[in-house]
Amino acid sequence: MKEIQSPYNIMVTMVDRLQEHYPNHNERSDGTIQFHFTHEKTKIDCYIESNNDLLQLRNGIAPNPTVTVKSSFYNWLKLAGGKLNPVLGVMLGKLKFKGDLSFFKILPRKFTNDELGIPKDPISKFEKNPVKFWEKPKKVIVLNASPRGEKGYTDFYLKPFIKGMESKTEVEHIYLKDFKINPCIGCFSCWMDKPGVCIYHDKDGFHELAEKMYKANLIVYAFPIYTDHIPGILKNYFDRSVSRAYPYMINGINGVRHPRKFIQEKQSMFIFSICGFFEKKNFNSVREYFKALAHNRHCPVVGEVYRTTAIGLYGSPFHFQKLNTIIRSLEKAGEQIIQTGKLNRNVNKLIHQKIKTTEDDLVKVNQWWNDKKGSKDLNY
Ligand SMILES: Cc1cc2nc3c(=O)[nH]c(=O)nc-3n(C[C@H](O)[C@H](O)[C@H](O)COP(=O)(O)O)c2cc1C
């Protein structure tokens, strides 16, 4: 169980970090920095001892400290973090120093990302404006993340879209359910122990699938809405993708993110989702989710299909005409996305046409569920 750290433990962490850079620090010198802290009505005395190339934190009072600091623990943290000017700190009575102040030079200065060797990640023109810099994708991968695979409605609506794309380029259709992907356990072994290598590397299908996906210029993520979000198998896939990112943090187009590690120069994604309910708001959370993913994966979203009433449209004779229009529009959408990197307004409108619901429709749906009770018809 994690507990809040004591000031002494925080000092231990600080000194451990300083020690990592100390042997290469130009201003090394032997001596001690004595601290007299107050924290929540208790007194804490400790000192940093510098001896040869080693910095060590010790509890208590040093015999002949080179320099002494007296302050509240918080004020020391502010000083150490560069948020309290030492001169101002002394003038305001927040800090008291005694001895040789120049001895503080033994504490290594802060590093820049460049000095730490953090990869730079310039935002590409394509990421900013994929349509303007669109090139017909040579390879498309459709990742169908419906746990029902070939039997699902996701597959049914996806087929015409794939047909449209296939008339223009090479498309590979993958069923995510065919890959065993363990959920991430959050150990960060892939960032700390063996960078880039997950503990399940050879034990499940994630690595094989991720390598395949990496080669696509356009990735279509297709999935049904499950409890207002993406199905668990797809979330597992995205969580495991953390092993393929750098742990470092940089400023990106839309806030902080990790610098990219594996991505094709002009890789983009298309979101294709269906749901059982009638209102478009059922896609709100996945829409936001993919916006965040696009930023964090440096992979712009170039188009979206969010088809509500997926089962109702398929099953009702009264929606037959609408369903046919939608299917034809999905095929057109497949052609358009490959050629132009976007869907035109008319196709978008037809795919997303609203299905008005009446109380009568809801009664019919409820009757359908009642009819299915005990039917063993799992392939609905
Ligand atoms: C576990 C589960 C949760 C679902 N949650 C939602 C939901 O929150 N909103 C919604 O509109 N439909 C929901 N649905 C309905 C599915 O989106 C719908 O059945 C879809 O057609 C399933 O696609 P598939 O046949 O490819 O599996 C859910 C279905 C399942 C099995």
Q: Burial, 356: exposed, middle or buried (Cβ in 10 Å; 0-12, 13-18, 19+)?
A: exposed
State mean pLDDT over 361-365: 90
Structure token pair of residue 53:
């190339």
Buried residues in 305-314 as b, exposed as e (16+ CB within 10 A): bbbbbbbbbe
| CA-147 nearest atom, ligand 1 | 27
- pLDDT tens, 190-243? 999 999 999 999 999 999 999 999 999 999 999 999 999 999 999 999 999 999
Q: Burial, 34: exposed, middle or buried (Cβ in 10 Å; 0-12, 13-18, 19+)?
A: buried
* Phi, psi angle pair for 14, to nearest 5°: -60, -50
Pocket test for ligand 1, best of 143, 159, 225 (most atoms within 8 A of CB): 225
pLDDT band for position 316 (50/70/90)?
Answer: confident
| CA-311 nearest atom, ligand 1 | 21
pLDDT band for position 380 (50/70/90)?
Answer: confident
Pocket of ligand 1 (CB under 6 A): 146, 148, 152-154, 224-228, 274-277, 282, 310-311
d(CA 50, CA 23): 11
Distance from the CA of 140 to the center of ligand 1, in angstroms?
A: 26
d(CA 14, CA 76): 12
CB count, 10 Å around CB of 208?
10
Distance from the CA of 157 to the center of ligand 1, in angstroms?
A: 14
Instruction: Determine contact, residues 329/350, Cβ cutoff 8 Å.
Output: yes
Q: What pLDDT is recorded for position 361?
A: 87
State mean pLDDT over 32-46: 97
State mean pLDDT over 269-298: 97
> Over 80: is that where the pLDDT of 332 sits?
yes
| CA-148 nearest atom, ligand 1 | 27
Do the strands 218-224 and 268-274 form a parallel or antiparallel pair, or are they unpaired? Answer: parallel
Distance from the CA of 347 to the center of ligand 1, in angstroms?
A: 24
Distance from the CA of 273 to the center of ligand 1, in angstroms?
A: 10
pLDDT band for position 109 (50/70/90)?
Answer: confident
Q: Name, in order, each residue with C-beta under 8 angstroms of 74's C-beta and a sequence gap of 6 or more.
A: 39
Q: What pLDDT is recorded for position 111?
A: 79
Q: What pLDDT is recorded for position 377?
A: 86
pLDDT band for position 310 (50/70/90)?
Answer: very high
Pocket test for ligand 1, best of 157, 173, 226, 306 (most atoms within 8 A of CB): 226
> Over 80: is that where the pLDDT of 110 sits?
no
State mean pLDDT over 109-122: 83
Q: What pLDDT is recorded for position 265?
A: 85
Q: Is 355 helix (H, G, I), strand (E, B) or coil?
A: coil
Give percent of the chain above pLDDT 90: 86
State mean pLDDT over 352-373: 91
pLDDT band for position 90 (50/70/90)?
Answer: very high
Do the strands 67-72 and 95-99 form a parallel or antiparallel pair, or are they unpaired? Answer: antiparallel
State mean pLDDT over 38-46: 96
State mean pLDDT over 359-380: 90
Q: What pLDDT is recorded for position 173?
A: 98
Distance from the CA of 106 to the center of ligand 1, in angstroms?
A: 62
Domain 125-370 has CATH 3.40.50.360: yes
Strand partners of residue 70: 36, 96
What letter represents residue 333's amino acid?
A
Q: How many CA atoms lie within 13 A of 155 on its CB side?
A: 12
Q: What pLDDT is recorded for position 108?
A: 81
d(CA 246, CA 240): 13
Distance from the CA of 179 to the center of ligand 1, in angstroms?
A: 21
State mean pLDDT over 301-316: 95
- pLDDT tens, 11-30? 999 999 999 889 989 899 99
Q: Which of 7-16, 107-116, 175-184, 274-283 has the lowest mean pLDDT?
A: 107-116
CATH number of 7-106: 3.30.1050.10
Q: Report the nearest-CA residue for atom 15 of ligand 1.
A: 276
Instruction: Determine contact, residues 269/221, Cβ cutoff 8 Å.
Output: yes
- pLDDT tens, 123-181? 889 999 999 999 999 999 999 999 999 999 999 999 999 999 999 999 999 999 999 99
d(CA 232, CA 176): 11
- Tokens 């004591």, located at residue: 6
Mean pLDDT of the chain: 95
| CA-153 nearest atom, ligand 1 | 25
Pocket test for ligand 1, best of 177, 221, 275, 277 (most atoms within 8 A of CB): 275
Structure token pair of residue 304:
């979206």
Structure token pair of residue 278:
């009638």
Domain ranges of the chain: 7-106, 125-370
